[in-house]
């Protein structure tokens, strides 16, 4: 059977995750970084498929899945969460064909902005995205450190944290914070995170004013985190670090944009190390966040 490109189905998503993990680790090991990814239940993929199936595509032949692409749309932003091809079949045009189909998703949805996060050390993906009108905007670094190290001389939190609930009032606050930080409301994605038992979210307050939110996962990962003004980002990150440091996690990690000087300085001061250099790639005019720390390259 020749190569087929078709919309993904729910029962493809476990195999797609296995392909993505293998493709990421082949790339990161080949570039001397060691393995980066491990298998996880494809719950956000399933959420996106049920929300808007136009963004998920599979390439396959009679024997196996050879590639997977997944994009989601929120407001007027289209985001490419994953584009991966089986390492044994890269360089044959499969990635380009899958990208064409997800870009059609962007066109159909009328998105004004397109973005994705890729590996700084992957020349192929960057060149392919440039071919499609998407250009490097800013570095995004995955930082991590042992919890004990981060806790040393960590500033006392300046913001008050209160658990995120699913009330209309909370959703309104989250929408306002996101609109200010990234230009769109992501209410549907907050509702998805609220249903994820492995992640906890807090609203952050300065006095009585709600100035941001942060999510911290059971593994010690911080993000997404967003604030209503850039001047408060460091306080928000330091409060999230304190919440993570007060838990029983082994390691603390976060994706920090290269445009967020104050949190980069704090991360380095608390002994955090860059483990993977990534890159935000976007359509002209989008990116350059100063009020937002993404969760990961799939969620944004």
Ligand X SMILES: CC(C)(COP(=O)(O)OP(=O)(O)OC[C@H]1O[C@@H](n2cnc3c(N)ncnc32)[C@H](O)[C@@H]1OP(=O)(O)O)[C@@H](O)C(=O)NCCC(=O)NCCS
Pick 223 or 297: Cβ nearer ligand X: 297
Pick 127 or 285: Cβ nearer ligand X: 127
Parallel, antiparallel, or unpaired for β 209-217 and 77-85? unpaired
Rg (the chain; Cα; Å) = 19
Q: Of residues 68, 72, 84, 286, which one binds ligand X by CB under 6 A?
A: 84
Pick 25 or 144: Cβ nearer ligand X: 25
CA separation for the pair 146, 212 (Å, rounded): 25
**Binding string to ligand X for residues 279 to 298, with x set by CB under 6 A, is what?**
--------------------
Pick 32 or 91: Cβ nearer ligand X: 91
Residue nearest to ligand X (CB): 127
Q: Of residues 28, 48, 125, 291, which one binds ligand X by CB under 6 A?
A: 125
Footprint on residues 91-120 left by ligand X (CB under 6 A) = 91-96, 116, 118-119
The CB-of-56 to ligand X minimum distance in angstroms stands at 15
The CB-of-84 to ligand X minimum distance in angstroms stands at 4
Q: For 185, which DSSP code? A: -
Q: Of residues 6, 107, 131, 229, which one binds ligand X by CB under 6 A?
A: 131
- Please count the other Cβ atoms lying within 10 Å of the Cβ belonging to residue 6: 11
Q: Of residues 1, 110, 123, 168, which one binds ligand X by CB under 6 A?
A: 123
List the one residue out of 85, 117, 108, 102 whose CA is nearest residue 3.
Answer: 85
Pick 66 or 161: Cβ nearer ligand X: 66
CA separation for the pair 118, 43 (Å, rounded): 21
**Binding string to ligand X for residues 193 to 232, with x set by CB under 6 A, is what?**
----------------------------------------
Give the contacts of 114 (CB within 8 A, at least 6 positions apart).
77, 78, 79, 80, 103, 106, 133, 134, 282, 283, 286
Sign of the torsion formed by the C-alpha atoms of 53, 56, 59 and 64: negative
- Please count the other Cβ atoms lying within 10 Å of the Cβ belonging to residue 124: 14
> What b/e sequence results for 165-180 when a residue is b if at least 16 CB atoms lie within 10 Å of its CB, and e otherwise?
eeeeebbebbbebbeb
Tell me the site size for ligand X, rule CB under 6 A. 22
Pick 32 or 207: Cβ nearer ligand X: 32
Which residues of the shown chain bind ligand X in the complex (CB under 6 A)?
23, 27, 83-85, 90-96, 116, 118-119, 122-125, 127-128, 131
């Amino acid at each position: 059977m020749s190569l087929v490109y078709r919309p993904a189905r729910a029962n493809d998503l476990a195999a797609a995750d296995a392909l993505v993990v293998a493709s990421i680790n082949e790339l990161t090991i080949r570039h001397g970084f060691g393995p980066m990814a491990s298998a996880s239940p494809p719950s956000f993929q399933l959420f996106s498929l049920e929300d808007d199936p136009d963004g998920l595509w599979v390439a396959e032949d009679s024997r196996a899945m050879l590639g997977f692409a997944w994009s989601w749309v929120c407001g007027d932003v289209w985001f490419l969460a994953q584009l991966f091809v089986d390492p044994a079949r890269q360089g044959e045009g499969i990635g380009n064909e899958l990208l064409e189909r997800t870009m059609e998703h962007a066109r159909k949805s009328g998105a004004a902005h397109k973005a994705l996060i890729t590996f700084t050390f992957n020349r192929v993906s960057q060149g392919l995205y440039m071919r499609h009108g998407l250009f490097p905007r800013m570095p995004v670094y995955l930082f991590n450190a042992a919890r004990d190290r981060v806790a040393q001389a960590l500033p006392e939190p300046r913001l008050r944290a209160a658990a995120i609930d699913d009330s209309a009032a909370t959703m309104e606050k989250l929408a306002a914070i996101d609109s200010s930080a990234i230009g769109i409301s992501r209410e549907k994605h907050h509702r998805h995170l609220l249903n994820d038992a492995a992640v906890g979210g807090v609203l952050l307050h300065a006095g009585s004013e709600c100035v941001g939110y942060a999510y911290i996962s059971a593994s010690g990962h911080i993000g997404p985190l967003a604030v209503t003004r850039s001047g408060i980002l460091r306080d928000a990150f330091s409060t999230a670090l304190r919440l993570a440091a007060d838990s029983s996690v082994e390691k603390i990690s976060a994706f920090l944009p290269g445009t967020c000087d104050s949190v980069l300085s704090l991360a380095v001061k608390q002994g955090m190390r860059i483990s993977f250099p990534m890159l935000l790639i976007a359509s002209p005019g989008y990116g350059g966040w100063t009020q937002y720390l993404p969760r990961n390259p799939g969620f944004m």
